[in-house]
A and B are shown apart, each in its own frame.
Chain A
Amino acid sequence: MLCEKCKKNEANAYIKTNVNGDVHEYHLCSQCAAEMQNSEEFGSLFHFDSLFSPMMSGFDMVSSLLSSPFGSFGAMPSLTSGKRCAVCGSDFNSIADSGKVGCPNCYTEFRGRLAPTIKKLHGNSVHCGKHSKVTTQESRENETESLKKQLADAVRTENYELAAELRDKIKAMEA
Chain B
Amino acid sequence: MSEMKKWYESEGEHSDVVISTRIRLARNLNGYPFPHLMNQAQRKEVSEKVRDALIGGNSALRDRFRYLEAEKLSPVELASLAGRHLISPEFANDPKGRALLLMDDESVCIMINEEDHVRIQVMGSGMQLKEAYDMADKIDTVLDETLHFAFDEELGYLTACPTNLGTGMRASVMLHLPASEADGTLRRVAASLGKVGATIRGSYGEGSRSTGAMYQISNQVTLGISEKDTLANLTDITNQIISLEKKSRGQLLSGESYQDTVWRALGILKTARVMNSGEFAELYSALRVGVAEGLVKGITLGQLSEAYESVQPARLMEQFGEEMNAAQRDRKRAEILRGLFRSTDIA
Residues of A within 8 A of B (CB): 13-21, 23, 34-35, 37-38, 40-46, 48, 51, 87-88, 90, 98-105, 107-108, 114, 117-118, 121-123, 125-136, 139
Residue contact B224 to A123, C-beta cutoff 8 Å:
yes
- Which chain B residues numbered 292 to 313 have a C-beta less than 8 Å away from chain A? none
B37–A88 touching, CB < 8 Å: yes
Min CB–CB distance B143 → chain A (angstroms): 10
B220 in contact with A45 (CB, 8 Å) = yes
Contact for B224 among A100, A122, A131, CB less than 8 A: A122
Q: How far is the CA of A53 from the CA of B211 in the complex (A)?
A: 34
Closest to A42 in B: B88
Residues of chain B from 1 to 54 with CB closer than 8 A to chain A in the complex: 24, 28-34, 36-37
- Cβ-closest 9 pairs across A and B: A125-B224, A127-B156, A18-B202, A104-B150, A129-B226, A21-B190, A132-B151, A122-B223, A88-B33
Does the CB pair B204–A19 fall under 8 Å? no
Count chain B residues whose beta carbon lies closer than 8 angstroms to a beta carbon of A: 71
Cα(A104)–Cα(B35), bound, Å = 11
List 9 additional contacts besides A41-B85, A132-B157; criterion CB under 8 Å: A21-B190, A42-B24, A90-B37, A105-B30, A118-B162, A122-B165, A127-B223, A129-B228, A132-B149
Q: Shortest CB–CB separation between residue B64 and chain A, in angstroms? A: 23
Give the CA-CA distance A127 to B155 in the complex, in Å.
5
B225 touches A101 (CB 8 A): no
User: Could you say which of B89, B141, B228 contacts A41, with CB atoms under 8 Å apart?
Assistant: B89
> Could you say which of B34, B88, B157 contacts A102, with CB atoms under 8 Å apart?
B34
Are A126 and B224 in contact (CB-based, < 8 A)?
yes
A104 and B208 contact, CB distance less than 8 A: no
Closest Cβ of chain B to A44, distance in Å, is 6
Chain A residue nearest to B117 (CB atoms) is: A104
In the assembled complex, the Cα of A21 lies from the Cα of B158 at a distance in Å of 31
Choose one: B31, B148, B166, B199; the contact of A129 (CB below 8 Å): B166
Q: Is the CB of A129 within 8 A of B149?
A: no
Chain A residues with Cβ below 8 Å from B215 are: 18
Partner of B163 from A18, A37, A44 at Cβ < 8 Å: A44
Q: Scan B45-85; emit 1 where CB is below 8 A from any A CB, else 0.
A: 00000000000000000000000000000000000000001
The answer to whether A129 and B152 touch across the interface, beta carbons within 8 angstroms, is no
State the CA gap A104–B46 with chains docked (Å): 14
How many angstroms between the C-alpha atoms of A107 and B216 in the bound complex? 31
Nearest CB on A from B121, distance (A): 9
A42–B162 Cα distance when bound, in Å, is 15
Alpha-carbon gap, A16 to B159, bound state (A): 29
**Which of A16, A99, A130, A139 has the most C-beta atoms of chain B within 10 angstroms of its own C-beta?**
A130
Q: Give the chain B neighbours of A117 by CB distance below 8 A.
A: 162
Known contacts: A18-B202, A20-B200. The answer to whether A129 contacts B225 by CB under 8 A is: yes
In the complex the two chains form, what is the Cα distance from A38 to B191 in whole Å? 23
**29 A–B contacts from the bound complex (CB under 8 Å):** A14-B206, A18-B190, A21-B187, A21-B190, A43-B24, A45-B163, A46-B163, A100-B36, A101-B160, A102-B37, A103-B34, A104-B34, A104-B150, A107-B152, A118-B165, A122-B166, A122-B222, A125-B221, A125-B224, A127-B153, A127-B155, A127-B156, A129-B156, A129-B226, A131-B151, A131-B153, A132-B150, A135-B150, A136-B151
Q: Does B250 contact A (CB under 8 A)?
A: no
A76 to B346, CA, bound (A): 72
A40: chain B residues at CB < 8 Å are 201, 204
In contact, B156 and A18 (Cβ under 8 angstroms): no
B176: interface (CB < 8 Å): no
Report whether A100 and B153 are in contact in the complex, using a CB–CB cutoff of 8 Å: no
Q: Are A41 and B88 in contact (CB-based, < 8 A)?
A: yes
Contact A18 B204 (CB under 8 A): no
A131 to B154, alpha carbons, bound, how many Å? 10
> Bound state CA distance, A103 and B89, in angstroms?
23
| Bound complex: CA A114 to CA B34 (Å) | 16
Contact partner of B31 among A23, A87, A118, A123, CB < 8 A?
A: A87
Q: Judging by beta carbons under 8 Å apart, are A103 and B37 in contact?
A: yes
Q: How far is the CB of B192 from chain A (nearest CB, A)?
A: 8
| Interface pair B162/A135, CB less than 8 Å apart | no
Task: Assess whether B199 is in contact with A37, with CB atoms less than 8 Å apart.
Answer: no
Residue B227 interfacial (CB < 8 Å): yes
With A14-B208, A43-B218, A121-B162 as contacts: A133 and B90 at CB distance below 8 Å: no
